[in-house]
């Protein structure tokens, strides 16, 4: 079955969604490869979120360096707020697509967050792995090594939890909420 934009609508609840491994790999994918064969845009959004969070991490690092320069810090705060607004747009893009294309059991217990929020958390965890992994190799410090390994484990666990949720939605044991970001930026 096809949705209004020509994308497939899932009969099982989730068969049109990429798995956790594909989402995580999508964060660092080349610009021309992050889309499923059937045109599902979620991997493209994942790639955009991964790049977005890398840039936001860097802006936040700059804000810590600039904390003694009030004008620079105020400018960076505006940049970070704009980035958060764009981030909310990426989350909404995922949630809109899921609402249109994933059929769910109306009577199933509700999960605690939207799929867009989960993909966003996965992107943040992926960036943390990238940044801590770079520090680990630069310093070869046992504390940095432990932090990097913990971040890697957390990312893997989040990916597994995403897959479990997809299984629960597909078997009609859980449903994903259809919410939008409630905090506005700007």
Q: How far is CA 157 from CA 10, 117, 163, 165, 170, in A?
A: 25, 16, 10, 12, 20
Identify the band that residue 117 occupies on the pLDDT scale cut at 50, 70 and 90.
very high
What pLDDT score does 137 carry?
A: 61
Q: d(Cα 14, Cα 165) in Å, to the nearest integer?
A: 10
- Percent of the chain at pLDDT > 70 equals 80
- Percent of the chain at pLDDT > 90 equals 45
Q: What is the pLDDT of residues 89-108, one digit of tens each?
A: 999 999 988 888 888 999 99
16 has a pLDDT exceeding 60: yes
pTM beyond 0.75: the answer is: yes
Average pLDDT of span 18-31 = 85
Least confident residue range of 21-30, 101-110, 177-186: 177-186
What pLDDT score does 33 carry?
A: 54
What pLDDT score does 14 carry?
A: 73
Positive or negative: CA dihedral 180, 183, 184, 185: negative
Q: What is the pLDDT of residues 134-164, one digit of tens each?
A: 776 655 668 888 888 999 999 999 999 999 9
């Amino acid at each position: 079955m096809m949705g209004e934009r020509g994308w497939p609508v899932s009969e099982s609840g989730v068969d049109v969604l990429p798995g956790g491994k594909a989402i995580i790999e999508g964060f660092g994918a080349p610009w021309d490869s992050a889309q499923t064969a059937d045109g599902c845009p979620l991997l493209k959004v994942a790639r955009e979120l991964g790049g977005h969070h890398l840039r936001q991490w860097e802006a936040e690092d700059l804000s810590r360096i600039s904390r003694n320069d009030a004008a620079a810090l105020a400018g960076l705060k505006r940049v970070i707020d704009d980035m958060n607004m764009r981030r909310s747009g990426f989350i909404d893009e995922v949630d809109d697509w899921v609402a249109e294309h994933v059929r769910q059991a109306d009577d199933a217990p509700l999960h605690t967050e939207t799929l867009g929020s989960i993909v966003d958390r996965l992107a943040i965890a992926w960036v943390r792995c990238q940044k801590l992994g770079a520090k680990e190799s630069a310093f070869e410090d046992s504390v940095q090594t432990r932090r990097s390994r913990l971040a890697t484990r957390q990312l893997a666990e989040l990916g597994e939890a995403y897959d479990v949720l997809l299984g629960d939605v597909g078997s009609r044991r859980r449903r994903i909420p259809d919410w939008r970001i409630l905090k506005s930026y700007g």
